[in-house]
Amino acid sequence: MSLRERLASGGFAVTAEISPPRGAGTEPITAAAALLRDWVDAVNVTDNQGSNARLASWAGSLAAMAAGLEPVMQMTCRDRNRIALQSDLLGASALGIRNVLVMTGDHPKFGDHPEAKPVFDLDSVQLLWTLRHMRDQGALLSGRALNPPPDCFLGAVENPFAPPAGFRADRLAKKVEAGAQFVQTQFVFDVEAFGRWMAQVRDLGLAEKCYILAGVGAVRSRRALDFMRDKVPGVQVPDDVYRRLRAVPADQTAAEGTRLAAETVQQLSTIDGVAGVHLLVAGNEQAVPGILDGAGVRVDPDGR
């Protein structure tokens, strides 16, 4: 069952995330896919995440497909102009990649090439709009016709916790208007704050127009916890979560992080309008079974 079918059927969808390697091989993707295959509906393949150069997301997506795992190809606006972005969608669609997740992308300043030219020719709303136009109108931004047009299931991201709080649901509404069919959120550590955002999302009628997958991560070390709190743009770790993960001995942070993630998934699954979860576990794929088991949410590998 594809991600799209899972969501359409009303089942609780689970996606995870794979970071392509820094190198010209696909073995790490094959290995991660083997760990995830029986547990998730699809896996995001990141696009030079954190502005660090890595194997291309389209290539990683093909490798995941070859390993029996449906990919969600991430696409950022940071490195390519409108010509390259449209070209990449055509290539991805031609090779069977259906799910495309659109995001603005981190600024180059945060990565391993801070001197690079930030492109940002389109923003994420404009890119979603462009891809939908290519699919539904069969035409490029130039007006030229596409034969055949691409086939794609379009995703967006949103951060429910970043200011301005009053505008975050409206921002998702813009993305849905532009073409987003599903959305994956930033890390949810504060379930109550997420619930307040979801109430706004439901009030705007967005839960009926767009599948909402809440982002959940498993913290695996104290270093990762500090990094997430202090260094990752847009992530907010509430004090009680921080204290809870610091309260256990350092060698048990990973186990406690998995327990916390499982509890979060379970709580999120009861919120009206939440269609699934997106597990932000790149590099920590082995945590996925523990999270889903603990939450009582398991994707039937046979798709029933």
Burial of 60 (0-12, 13-18, 19+ CB in 10 A): buried
Q: Show the site string, 273-292: x = touches another protein by CB under 8 A, - = not.
A: --------------------
Q: Compute the distance between CA of residue 135 and CA of residue 23 in angstroms, rounded to an integer.
A: 33
The SS3 assignment for 280 reads: strand
β-pairing verdict for 211-217 and 274-280: parallel
Rule CB under 8 A: which of 126-145 touch another protein?
126, 129-130, 132-133, 137, 139, 141-145
What are the backbone dihedrals phi and psi of residue 161, each rounded to the nearest 5 degrees, phi first? -105, -10
In the bound state with another protein, the residue whose beta carbon lies nearer, of 65 and 193, is 193
- CB of residue 29 vs another protein: minimum separation in angstroms? 25
DSSP string, 172-217: HHHHHHHT-SEEEEEE---HHHHHHHHHHHHHTTHHHHSEEEEEEE
Q: Compute the distance between CA of residue 134 and CA of residue 132 in angstroms, rounded to an integer.
A: 5
Q: Show the site string, 235-274: x = touches another protein by CB under 8 A, - = not.
A: -x--------------------------------------
Tally Cβ neighbours within 10 Å of residue 249.
7
In the bound state with another protein, the residue whose beta carbon lies nearer, of 144 and 304, is 144
Find the part of the chain contacting another protein (CB under 8 A) among 15-23, 43-51, 94-102, 113-121.
Answer: 113-121
In the bound state with another protein, the residue whose beta carbon lies nearer, of 46 and 258, is 46
Q: Which of 38, 123, 226, 263 binds another protein (CB under 8 A)?
A: 123
- CB of residue 215 vs another protein: minimum separation in angstroms? 11
Question: Per CB under 8 A, does 227 bind another protein?
Answer: no
Q: Compute the distance between CA of residue 95 and CA of residue 89 in angstroms, rounded to an integer.
A: 10
Contact 211, 7 (CB under 8 A): yes
- The count of chain residues that interact with another protein, using the rule CB under 8 A, is 47
Question: Per CB under 8 A, does 107 bind another protein?
Answer: yes
Question: Per CB under 8 A, does 234 bind another protein?
Answer: yes
- CB of residue 105 vs another protein: minimum separation in angstroms? 8
Question: Per CB under 8 A, does 124 bind another protein?
Answer: yes
β-pairing verdict for 99-103 and 153-158: parallel
- B/e letters for 182-210, b = 16+ CB within 10 Å, e = fewer, are bbbbbbbbbbeebbebbebbbeeebbeeb
Question: Per CB under 8 A, does 46 bind another protein?
Answer: no
- CB of residue 143 vs another protein: minimum separation in angstroms? 5
Rule CB under 8 A: which of 145-184 touch another protein?
145, 157-159, 161-164, 166-167, 170-171, 173-174, 177-178
Distance of CA 146 to the CA centre of its chain: 28
Give contact residues for another protein (rule: CB under 8 A): 77-78, 82, 103-107, 109, 118, 120-126, 129-130, 132-133, 137, 139, 141-145, 157-159, 161-164, 166-167, 170-171, 173-174, 177-178, 186, 233-234, 236
